[in-house]
Amino acid sequence: MRWSRYNGAVVQKITREDVARAAGVSKTTVTYVLRDTPGTHISETTKAKVRRVAKRLGYQPNFAATSLVRGKTAIVGLLLPSQDMQFGFYYSRMIAGLVAAAKDTPYHFLYLGMDQPEKYRLCLARGLADGVVILQSDVNETHAAAVHEFALPLVTMNYLNDVGAPQVSMDYEGAVETAYDRMLAHGRKRIALVCRRDNCQPNVRHIDRHNALAERLGNRADFSHVLPESYASEDELLRTLLTDKARDGYVVDGMLHATRLARRLEEAGRSIGGDVDVIGFRVGEREAYARPGIVVLEAQPEEVGRLAWEQMETLLEGRDVAERTRLVPFVEREE
């Protein structure tokens, strides 16, 4: 038995020698059993006894030694744009799905920051992670490419990468198609997509699908894209949208903006769900942002995290991922 200090207190540290003595076996036998070493000839009865004694004594394997022997750390890096991003509502729900899916596995997560590239690259170069999950929204391919160079299991969340790694994302393209199909089914003829572009890949994917549908379905309706960042303020944007009284359908990225637009439409005498439809994509907002009559297409971020872990675990086990791209559909809700 050894002694060590923790927060100034002296605590006992149970060793393999202690387990061997209590179980009446050799230290080598304990090592083989607790490391589950293949090719050994140890009876199941002895294995069960060693594990039972180790648990009773509170034996904890030395992380560094175990990692060295196995060539694995049981740690997966979670690479985010910055530390504060993990507390954003949308990202935190994806992370929650990822962590929950890994709950019953031996793996832990290590935060890595894109805003400290030298630090996370050094971490990966030292072999401190068995794999990396990247969570981002912007169109910057730098970090996916940098991690890919380390030849580690890699999965991207909320981002479609160009390095060939498995990827899980909300189906942003499918959300636009669902919204437009619903508008056309309700006889809407002049439909606007209100969506920022910025440096945001999900928004770019919304807009690209809008452009494709406008070209393909242009004989059925008039599709237009309104870029909010082109206006000095949201108030100016809303006033402009209300000027075109012939427009009868709005697809809005973000429930807060959709709610404000619906309120202004009602103040102008329009009937939501009557002479005009408003469909909002609920992604990073809580359910409080809603208004009667608005159709909500809601993201499922926890499912993105769950599927990302499913892909990562497959890679960690040395198997190929069956589907490189997994897209999670938006769920339709009417407020």
Q: What is the pLDDT of residues 116-129, one digit of tens each?
A: 999 999 999 988 99
Confidence of residue 284 (pLDDT cuts 50, 70, 90): confident
Residue 10 has pLDDT above 50, yes or no: no
The residue ranking higher by pLDDT, 255 or 288, is 255
Q: Rounded to an integer, what distance in angstroms lies between the CA atom of residue 54 and that of residue 50? A: 6
Number of other residues whose CB lies within 10 A of the CB of residue 298: 18
CA distances 300 to 90, 158, 168, 202, 212, Å, are 9, 11, 12, 14, 25
Three-class secondary structure assignment of 70-138: HCCCCEEEEEECCHHHHHCHHHHHHHHHHHHHCCCCCCEEEEEECCCHHHHHHHHHCCCCCEEEEECCE
φ, ψ of residue 151 in degrees (nearest 5)? 55, 35
- The DSSP 8-state label assigned to residue 230 in this structure reads G
CA angle 17/21/26 to nearest 5° reads: 70
Residue-level pLDDT at 122: 94
Average pLDDT over residues 246-260: 94
Task: Give the chain's radius of gyration (CA, Å).
Answer: 27
Q: Rounded to an integer, what distance in angstroms lies between the CA atom of residue 180 and that of residue 168? A: 24
Whether 328 and 300 have beta carbons less than 8 Å apart is answered as yes
DSSP-assigned beta bridge partners for residue 280: 252, 296
Instruction: Tell me the torsion sign for CA atoms 291, 292, 296, 301.
Output: positive
Confidence of residue 75 (pLDDT cuts 50, 70, 90): very high
Q: Rounded to an integer, what distance in angstroms lies between the CA atom of residue 279 and that of residue 6? A: 56
**pTM of the entire structure?**
0.80
The residue ranking higher by pLDDT, 12 or 63, is 12
Q: Rounded to an integer, what distance in angstroms lies between the CA atom of residue 138 and that of residue 3? A: 49
The residue ranking higher by pLDDT, 288 or 334, is 334
φ, ψ of residue 84 in degrees (nearest 5)? -70, -20
User: Mean pLDDT score of the chain, rounded to an integer?
Assistant: 89
Confidence of residue 4 (pLDDT cuts 50, 70, 90): very low
In this structure, of 28-42, 65-79, 202-216, 299-313, the range with the lowest mean pLDDT score is: 65-79
Residue 64 has pLDDT above 80, yes or no: no
DSSP-assigned beta bridge partners for residue 296: 280, 333
Residues 6+ apart with CB under 8 A from 15: 1, 2, 59
> Would residue 127 be called left, alpha or beta, if left means φ above 0 and alpha means ψ between -120 and 50 degrees?
left
Residue 218 has pLDDT above 60, yes or no: yes
Residue-level pLDDT at 335: 64
Average pLDDT over residues 298-304: 97
Domains in the chain (CATH in brackets) are 2-61 (1.10.260.40), 75-165+302-328 (3.40.50.2300), 172-298 (3.40.50.2300)
In the chain, pLDDT over 70 holds for what percent of residues? 91
Number of other residues whose CB lies within 10 A of the CB of residue 160: 16
Number of other residues whose CB lies within 10 A of the CB of residue 185: 8
Q: At what angle do helices 301-316 and 89-101 cross, to 10 degrees?
A: 40
Residue 269 has pLDDT above 80, yes or no: yes
Residue-level pLDDT at 83: 82
Residue 54 has pLDDT above 70, yes or no: yes
Residue 285 has pLDDT above 50, yes or no: yes
Residue 71 has pLDDT above 90, yes or no: no
Average pLDDT over residues 12-32: 86
Number of H helices, E strands in the chain: 12, 14
